[in-house]
Amino acid sequence: MDVFGINLRRTYLIARRDYLGYVKTWGFWISFFLPVVFAILGFFATTLDLNLQPTRYEAILDETGQHAVKMQAMAKKSSDEVNRAIVLKLGESVLSDSDTKALETVFDTEGIEGARNYIDNKIPGLGKRLKVPAETTRYITPPADTIEALQPYLRGEKMVEYQGEKVRLNGVLHIYGDVPLYVNYWSENFNNAPARTLASKYFSETATKAYLNSGGLTQAGLMAAKTGSVELSTLDPSKAQSDETDTQVVTQRDRAPYFVAIGLALVLWFTIFSGSYMLLTSMLEEKLNKLLEMMLASTRFAEIMCGKLVGVAILTVTAMLPYIILGVLSVLVVIKFGDPELGAGLQDAFNAKMLIFFFVFLILGYVFYGAFFIAMGAMANSMQDAQTLTTPIMLVLSACVLVVPLGLDSPDSPILVWASWFPLSAPFASIVRLPTDPPLWELVGSALSVLISSVIIVWVAGRLFRYGVLSGSGVKGIKVWFSRVILRRKV
């Protein structure tokens, strides 16, 4: 079947060859699965780190008798806060508001085990499966009264009895003196020093409190003065107004579309960049393989060029698939389990208009830049040639990404509006403008500017490609080529 004189079967065969040429290599699959592996490792890394790390046994030898108990209480509170956050997050996700409130009370009074039982009562089995970070540091009573007597324990020559087990004493915090107060941390593994960190935090807070108290102030009062002095809100006048004053307050839901637009513009840029570069290398490989001339006895130039564009486009999508899947999963996780405001914002951001224009600009941008790179590849005779030829277009492509952050800082900037009409930057600029809801005619106009430019570029690239594959002019012949191929002068 032919479309505009292009035979679809031959175009498909070229596309398939280009696609399989890359996909059937080990390198491709390694790079394909690498992000998935990294994502899985990254996801479990924190838990693995916390759970695989052996528990440290630390002691506080407090000769002053004033700090050890308070410090251990602070450590417990810190650990409880982490567990409390995990328990409440789970409660918010699976329980009603009133049950979550009750769960909070249970946790505060009965601790993590009480919370587990409460969740099990509501949803059988879930409480037992609730995992919290393992206790990484346990503070135990010092097995001796002097720091000298503790040395054999710290060196591992003697073990400590703890809940019927023989354990190694990993560190000792020795507090002594009056004014000045001395705090020494003893440990063979001095890089991992939880008691030292605890001491630093405890004495900093204690000193702050003492200083404030000496002036008749309290820490709570200071915090209240800092945060309660002014109510600072951001409001959006374009949001619907109602009797309730906070309906116009800007929330994460309002901000999400801007971040999504920037994310998609960067994905667009990366996809076009990597796809175009693959086209360049594929074209160069083709030219160096010297097979094109033989294929041209049975295939049109346009079919080979379209085949390459389609094949590498599908290849690029395949290569991006792990990122796309991870991205979609992340968004779904946030929508389902994350902050409700942010989830609603993400749902708003991924609307039909955004997705349609994203794919329109992805296709147009890819064809526009891809045709450029095919022509460059056809003109080059070596990778060095290709780099020389593509440097200017690479610089332009790099410059275009600079408009993307404007979408966050000043989405109504005239630079962004102009950039959305300039074919080289239009795909990226138009996407970041979308959350400001520009007129549809502007978006369609931007798309048309890229479309018209693409048609011209594809025509020029087609001619350069045709002459490039049959000659070996290289970089030096560009002027001659331009005169002969584009201006059709006899040189």
Partner 1 sequence: MSQSPLILDHVSKTFSGKMAVNDVSFTVNSGEIVGFLGPNGAGKTTTLRMALGLIKPDAGAVSLFGDTPGANAFGRIGFLPEERGLYKKQTARESIALMARLNGIKGKEAIRRADEMLDRYGLSDAKKKKNKDMSKGMAQKVQLLGAIVHDPEFYMLDEPFSGLDPVNQKILEDMVREIASRDRTIVFSTHVMEHAERLCDRIILMSGGKKVFDGTTQAALATAPRRLVVGSDDMEALLAVVTPMSEKLVKREDGTFSLIMKDQVKTQTVLEQLVQKQIGLTRYEPKAPTLHEAFVAMVGNDGLHSLPEDGAE
Residues that bind partner 1 (CB under 8 A): 5, 7, 10, 13, 17, 21, 24-25, 288-291, 293-300, 470, 480, 490-491
Kindly tell me which of 17 and 168 has the beta carbon lying closer to partner 1.
Answer: 17
Q: Which is nearer to partner 1, 122 or 484 (CB)?
A: 484
Task: Report the residue number, 167 or 296, with the smaller CB distance to partner 1.
Answer: 296
Closest approach of partner 1 to the CB of residue 419, in Å = 40
Q: Given the complex with partner 1, which of 314 and 363 has the nearer CB atom? A: 314
Give me the helix-helix angle, 8-23 and 301-337, nearest 10°.
60
Contacts of 398 (CB under 8 A, 6+ apart): none
Exposure of 356 by Cβ count < 10 A (0-12 exposed, 13-18 middle, 19+ buried)? exposed
> Closest by alpha carbon to 451, among 379, 331, 357, 387?
357
CA dihedral 272, 276, 279, 280 (to 10 degrees): -170
**How much helix, strand and coil, in percent to the nearest 5, is found in the chain?**
70, 10, 20
DSSP code for 401: G
420, 426 Cβ separation under 8 angstroms: yes
**In a 3-state reduction of DSSP, which class is residue 353?**
helix
Minimum CB distance to partner 1 smaller for 295 or for 380 = 295
Three-state DSSP at 172 gives strand
Helices in 123-169 by DSSP H: which ranges?
A: 126-129, 147-154
Instruction: Return contacts of 169-172, CB within 8 angstroms, 24+ apart.
Output: 169/57, 169/58, 169/59, 169/140, 169/143, 170/56, 170/57, 170/58, 171/56, 171/58, 171/59, 171/195, 171/196, 172/58, 172/59, 172/60, 172/61, 172/142, 172/147
Nearer to partner 1, 152 or 477 (CB): 477
Question: Smallest distance, Å, CB 282 to partner 1?
Answer: 11
CB of 471 to partner 1, least distance (A): 9
Q: Which is nearer to partner 1, 270 or 482 (CB)?
A: 482
251 versus 299: smaller Cβ distance to partner 1:
299
Q: What are phi and psi of 369, to 5 degrees?
A: -75, -35
Residues 332, 325: Cα–Cα separation, whole Å: 10
Give Cα 321 distance to the centre of its chain: 15
Tell me the sheet residues that pair with 249: 235
Min dist. Cβ of residue 290 to partner 1 (A): 3
Residue with tokens 């990484």: 136
- Minimum CB distance to partner 1, residue 467 (Å): 9
Tokens encoding 132: 């919290």
Nearer to partner 1, 362 or 379 (CB): 379
In eight-state DSSP terms, residue 475 is G
Query: What's the min distance (Å) between Cβ of 14 and partner 1?
Result: 8
- Work out how close the CB of 379 gets to partner 1 at its nearest, in angstroms, rounded to a whole number: 16
Q: How far is the CB of 464 from partner 1 (least distance, A)?
A: 14
- From the CB of 277, what's the least distance to partner 1, in Å? 19
**String of b and e for 455-476 (b: at least 16 CB within 10 Å)?**
eebbebbbbbbbbbbeeebbbe
* CA dihedral (354, 360, 364, 367) positive or negative: positive
Smallest gap from Cβ 322 to partner 1, in A, equals 23
Q: Closer to partner 1 at the Cβ: 188 or 293?
A: 293
Is residue 300 helix, strand or coil? coil
Output the smallest distance, CB 466 to partner 1, in A: 9
Between 76 and 479, name the residue whose CB sits nearer to partner 1: 479
